[in-house]
């Protein structure tokens, strides 16, 4: 792992040290995805079957997974696996239920009552990537908040064959429909609907470059669907002082590095000596990993930053804005009020990122790539929308009328003024 | 106003009756805006001065409005105007302060504590359009939540000359910097920064097709800035029964119609007789408006829908998803639990839209064009972001370990498992 001393860098060197690699989607991905979307919009289910055969190498018997198949999956799973998934489900449910907002109701001036009410987004689509191993944890992270928000229709797409773990969690989360479809074609199907696939209002979930580009394209079309948040490579930053255990930190850095060769991994510490021990521990642990090759590629662009102080570590983290931030210092909670621009924060020696990735209760769908400055950790709010309500009494309107009339005059909007004066005149006439 | 009887329409006719006009931004707008953005990024302040001279016909003495100019504006305003703006400021502040979220903290299983914390978005930019009349109300709607959220830096752009009302509200809201810049060049300046203009994290506010396109472009660039929500023409839907007053409804429809020729105006009622009276009242009131020409254009595409029942009116509204929804029925509050997909709801005879446009306390920046299905009324949440936090005790981690290990094994992620087992082993060794 490369190491830099922050204090010795110029402003430009600092920016460059923490700069994220540019995401350069070729124009060919844009065009290929646009073709796939057009095909799905015009040819519906036929296009889905054809594209699935082409990209996933299987032509599923049916696009929709039947209830029998879902039930059969649950019978094949071990009790141990079911218990683990249920424990994670319980914890994630508890944390997301705690996010149910308080109703807001205020009488701003006599007779003028303003409210904020929350409603579930009606129809949501969850995308679960395929790949070498199934990702039931992502089904939990999307399915649980959709269930708690009360979305009327929740559908799930994943490339076939869909693993038993995914089907089991889909059942736990009461997902209405599961489809054997992946890639850009799945995103297109959920955004526009086909004979079989329900059109949804918003699409959630991670995916490869094609899925990401498809989400971008359908979210730029008002007839398409909204999406959860912009995507980017996964990241972890660790802030640690000399009280931290080097092998714990190394394990945390590696658990990020194994995600993919583009994973970003940064340690920030005021202790150069800890930095060296962590670098050694990473090398030692790396050898034992089945995904060592992937992790090694990610580590090639990883970084150890030696800072002047813990305060400077915090400033560096707030500037970088990491997706995951692990704090292993003598008193990690004392730093929390100063921490900003992070997706999810892990406090102390006993809070590894993998706890949150799977089962502590927090969501693992997080803003990355610097989007932590403006986007939030996925939560109940993303499956809901807020509407405002106002109710004025006759006296309330009379009291507010002079303010509205004066402002409407200033803005040159006669009819706005008239909507108030016509009512006040009616009141004065005793109508 | 055109009138249709819902029950007599086919499914397709219904869709077509409520279909919004397509927004067709020419490729020339896209290219022109892209040029402007490039110019601002490469030439900074010089480009801003040049483009302002070109598009707004004035070359401001300085890009930033000085404190003296802001103070002078407040001295020129009438007491009546200042009082109106202050009353609106007070009401909007009260309603947005009530939106400050409760902290979320849950022990999901023994020793596993999960939290959700909220932080202000650090730097925000507010765009206030120019035009025939100043829009101080929009400054309130953006400036008040930015102030309450605690954003560290709030900047405002508006084309010169900036009206006294706008400068006065900027002062009320404690806005840090005000710039004499409008159009796509203002959006570019805030998204990327110039010598004078502060780069911001997120840009808010309405604007013409160029501003909208510039917001879209900078929000699609991760080096740019996030934006509040997608834009579209303004809309009102009124649900009314035969207890409603036709002239009130007509005034409300016209106050939407005067916004612009593309405004959408729809009345839904089970009473054909009320529909006729409203159509007559609209014609009568139209004549007296200074913006009658604009309103008349909007009314050309407006609609009265005669429904079978109030329940059907509600279903039509939920399907259409109006930006503003006015409910003038015998018991409007009884309908609230069934109402969905609306930006802001106005209950009863004494709650005209203009109350909320200016001063009741609710925000007038609302999703429109059907985006009410997934987007929220602008609120405090849009000026903040949510981060999650977790802290596990040693025992907490031991209790959670089997779940994490089982799931990491299923997902084939060794290092994720190892980050947990290395800690549990250390505990067992008594380290």
| A10 and A43 housed in the same domain | no
Out of A341, A361, A381, a domain closes at A361
Within-domain flag for B17: no
* Cα angle B413-B415-B416, degrees, rounded to a multiple of 5: 65
Q: Find the residue in A nearest to B352 (Cα).
A: A419
| B88 and B138 housed in the same domain | yes
Residues of chain A found within 8 Å of residue B413, distances taken between Cβ atoms? 133, 255, 258-259, 291, 354
Within-domain flag for B307: yes
Torsion of CA B334, B339, B343, B345, to 10 degrees: -20
| A132 and A220 housed in the same domain | yes
| B211 and B68 housed in the same domain | yes
Which structure tokens are listed for A403? 């303010």
> pLDDT tens digits for chain B (431 residues)?
899 999 999 999 999 999 998 877 677 899 999 999 999 999 999 999 999 999 999 999 999 999 999 999 999 999 999 999 999 999 999 999 999 999 999 999 999 999 999 999 999 999 999 877 889 999 999 999 999 999 999 999 999 999 999 999 999 999 999 999 999 999 999 999 999 999 999 999 999 999 999 999 999 898 999 999 998 899 999 999 999 999 999 999 999 999 888 899 999 999 999 999 999 999 999 988 888 898 899 999 899 999 999 999 999 999 999 999 999 999 999 999 999 999 999 999 999 999 999 999 999 999 999 999 999 999 999 999 999 999 999 999 999 999 999 999 999 999 999 999 999 999 999 86
Catalytic residue, candidates A213, A235, A258, A323 = A323
Which structure tokens are listed for A360? 């502590």
| ipTM confidence | 0.96
Residues of chain B found within 8 Å of residue A248, distances taken between Cβ atoms? 419, 422-423, 426
A85 Cβ neighbours under 8 A, 6+ residues apart? A136, A140, A165, A168, A169, A172, B407
| % chain A with pLDDT above 90 | 91
HSE of B305, CA atoms in CB hemisphere, 13 A: 28
Instruction: State the average pLDDT over residues A231-252.
Output: 96
B51 Cβ neighbours under 8 A, 6+ residues apart? B36, B39, B40, B183, B185
* Per-residue pLDDT band at A260 (split at 50, 70, 90): confident
Alpha-carbon distance A261 to A394, whole Å?
65
Within-domain flag for A295: yes
Q: Which residue of B130, B302, B388, B394 to mutate against A (max A Cβ within 10 Å)?
A: B388
Instruction: Closest CB to A116: pick one of B84, B99, B251.
Output: B99
Q: Measured between CA atoms, how close is A38 to chain B, in angstroms? A: 19
Instruction: Closest CB to A363: pick one of B122, B388, B393.
Output: B388
Which structure tokens are listed for B24? 């067709």
Do A137 and B343 lie within an 8 Å CB cutoff? no
Alpha-carbon distance B416 to A257, whole Å?
10
Binding residues of A for NAD(+): 127, 185, 208
Q: Which residue of A358, A398, A409, A426 to mutate against B (max B Cβ within 10 Å)?
A: A358
* Helix A246-257, helix A272-286: angle, nearest 10: 60
Q: What is chain A's mean pLDDT, rounded?
A: 95
Sign of the Cα pseudo-torsion (A364, A368, A372, A376, in order) = negative
Out of A174, A200, A227, a domain closes at A227
Instruction: State the average pLDDT over residues A263-282.
Output: 96
A243 Cβ neighbours under 8 A, 6+ residues apart? A328, A329, A330
User: Token match 């106005």: residue?
Assistant: B346
Residues of chain B found within 8 Å of residue A237, distances taken between Cβ atoms? none
- What pLDDT does B24 receive? 72
B67 Cβ neighbours under 8 A, 6+ residues apart? none
Instruction: Closest CB to B419: pick one of A84, A91, A251.
Output: A251
| A287 and A356 housed in the same domain | yes
**B106, B144, B113: which is closest to B359 by C-alpha?**
B144
Binding residues of B for NAD(+): 127, 185, 208
- What pLDDT does A304 receive? 97
Do A374 and B201 lie within an 8 Å CB cutoff? yes
Alpha-carbon distance A421 to B338, whole Å?
31
- The CATH number given to whatever domain includes residue A292 is 3.40.50.1980
Do A351 and B390 lie within an 8 Å CB cutoff? yes
* pLDDT tens sequence across A190-227: 999 999 999 999 999 999 999 999 999 999 898 999 99
Coil, helix or strand at residue A237 = strand
Length of chain B: 431
Out of A342, A361, A380, a domain closes at A361
Within-domain flag for A46: yes
| A73 and A178 housed in the same domain | yes
| B64 and B140 housed in the same domain | yes
- The CATH number given to whatever domain includes residue A424 is 1.20.5.1300
| A194 and A274 housed in the same domain | no
* pLDDT tens sequence across A77-97: 999 999 999 999 999 999 999
Alpha-carbon distance A98 to B106, whole Å?
7
| B189 and B249 housed in the same domain | no
Instruction: Closest CB to B389: pick one of A87, A105, A347.
Output: A347
Do B351 and A392 lie within an 8 Å CB cutoff? yes
State phi, psi for B175 to the nearest 5 degrees. Answer: -70, 135
| % chain B with pLDDT above 90 | 91
Is A25 among the catalytic positions? no
Residues of chain A found within 8 Å of residue B201, distances taken between Cβ atoms? 373-374
| A167 and A248 housed in the same domain | no
Catalytic residue, candidates A324, A338, A364, A431 = A324
Do A351 and B391 lie within an 8 Å CB cutoff? yes
3-state SS record for chain B: CEEEEHHHCCHHHHHHHCCCCCCCCCHHHHHHHHHHHHHHHHHHHHHHHHHHHHHHCCCCCCCECCHHHHHHHHHHCCHHHHHHHHHHHHHHHHHHHCCCCCCEEEEEECCEEEEEEEEECCEEEEECCCCCCCCHHHHHHHHHHHHHHCCCEEEEECCCCCCHHHHHHHHHCCCCEEECCCHHHHHHHHHHCCCCCCCCCEEECCCCHHHHHHHHHHHCCCCCCEECCCCCCCEEEEEECCCCCHHHHHHHHHHHHCCCCCCEEEEEECCHHHHHHHHHHHHHHHCCCCCHHHHHHHHHCCEEEECCCHHHHHHHHHHHCCCEEEEECCCHHHHHHHCCCCCEEEECCCCCHHHHHHCCCCCCCCCCCCHHHCCCCCCHHHHEEEEEEEEECHHHHHHHHHHHHHHHHHCCCHHHHHHHHHHHHHHHCCC
Residues of chain B found within 8 Å of residue A420, distances taken between Cβ atoms? 352, 354-355
| B417 and B334 housed in the same domain | no
- What pLDDT does B431 receive? 64
Within-domain flag for A372: no
Instruction: Closest CB to B419: pick one of A255, A345, A373.
Output: A255
- What pLDDT does B199 receive? 98
CB atoms within 10 A of CB B97: 15
Query: How many domains, in total, are found in chain A?
Result: 3
Q: Is the pLDDT of residue A428 over 70?
A: yes
Do A414 and B288 lie within an 8 Å CB cutoff? yes
| B218 and B345 housed in the same domain | no
Within-domain flag for A113: no
Within-domain flag for B90: yes
Residues of chain B found within 8 Å of residue A132, distances taken between Cβ atoms? 412
Sheet holding A324-328, edge to edge: A2-5, A303-306, A264-269, A235-240, A324-328, A344-347, B384-392, B112-120, B104-109
**B141, B127, B230, B123: which is closest to B187 by C-alpha?**
B127
Within-domain flag for A282: yes
**How many inter-chain contacts (A to B, CB under 8 Å) are there?**
432
* Per-residue pLDDT band at A291 (split at 50, 70, 90): confident
* pLDDT tens sequence across A114-154: 999 999 999 999 999 987 788 999 999 999 999 999 999 99
Coil, helix or strand at residue A325 = strand
Q: Measured between CA atoms, how close is B383 to chain A, in angstroms? A: 8
Do B411 and A258 lie within an 8 Å CB cutoff? no
* Helix A136-149, helix A79-97: angle, nearest 10: 40
Active site residues of B: 323-324
Q: Which residue of B354, B370, B381 to mutate against A (max A Cβ within 10 Å)?
A: B354
Alpha-carbon distance B217 to A67, whole Å?
44
Is A364 among the catalytic positions? no
In terms of residue numbers, what domain contains A417? 393-428
- What pLDDT does B154 receive? 98
């Amino acid at each position: 792992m490369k190491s830099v001393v922050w204090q010795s860098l110029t402003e430009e060197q600092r920016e460059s040290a923490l700069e994220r690699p540019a995401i350069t989607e070729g124009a060919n991905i844009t065009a290929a995805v646009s073709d796939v979307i057009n095909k799905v919009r015009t040819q519906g289910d036929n296009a889905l079957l054809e594209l699935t055969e082409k990209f996933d190498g299987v032509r599923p018997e049916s696009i929709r997974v039947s209830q029998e198949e879902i039930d059969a999956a649950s019978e094949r799973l071990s009790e141990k696996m079911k218990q683990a998934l249920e424990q994670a489900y319980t914890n994630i449910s508890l944390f997301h239920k705690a996010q149910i907002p308080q109703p807001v109701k205020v009488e701003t001036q006599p007779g003028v009552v303003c409210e904020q009410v929350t409603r579930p987004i009606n129809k949501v689509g969850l995308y679960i990537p395929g790949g070498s191993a199934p990702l039931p944890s992502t089904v939990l992270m999307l399915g649980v908040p959709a269930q708690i928000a009360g979305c009327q229709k929740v559908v799930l797409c994943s490339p076939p064959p869909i693993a038993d773990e995914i089907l089991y969690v889909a059942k736990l989360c009461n997902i209405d429909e599961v489809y054997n479809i992946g890639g850009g074609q799945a995103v297109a199907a959920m955004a526009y609907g086909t004979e079989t696939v329900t059109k949804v209002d918003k699409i959630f979930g991670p995916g490869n470059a094609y899925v990401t580009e498809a989400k971008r394209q359908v979210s730029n079309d008002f007839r398409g669907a909204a999406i959860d948040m912009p995507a980017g490579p996964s990241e972890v930053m660790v802030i640690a002082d000399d009280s931290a255990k080097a092998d714990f930190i190394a394990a945390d850095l590696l658990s990020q590095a194994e995600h993919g060769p583009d994973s970003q991994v940064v340690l920030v510490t005021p202790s150069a000596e800890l930095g060296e021990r962590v670098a050694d521990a990473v090398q030692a642990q790396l050898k034992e990993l089945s995904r060592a090759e992937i992790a090694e590629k990610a580590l090639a662009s990883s970084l150890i930053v030696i800072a002047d102080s813990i305060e400077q570590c915090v400033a560096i983290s707030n500037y970088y804005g990491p997706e995951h931030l692990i704090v292993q210092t003598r008193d990690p909670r004392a730093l929390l009020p100063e921490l900003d621009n992070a997706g999810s924060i892990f406090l102390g020696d006993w809070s590894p990122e993998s706890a949150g990735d799977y089962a502590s209760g927090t969501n693992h769908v997080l803003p990355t790539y610097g989007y932590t400055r403006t986007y939030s950790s996925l939560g109940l709010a993303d499956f809901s929308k807020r509407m405002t309500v106002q109710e004025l009494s006759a006296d309330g309107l009379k009291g507010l009328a002079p303010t509205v009339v004066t402002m409407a005059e200033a803005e040159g909007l006669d009819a706005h003024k008239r909507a108030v004066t016509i009512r006040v005149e009616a009141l004065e006439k005793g109508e």
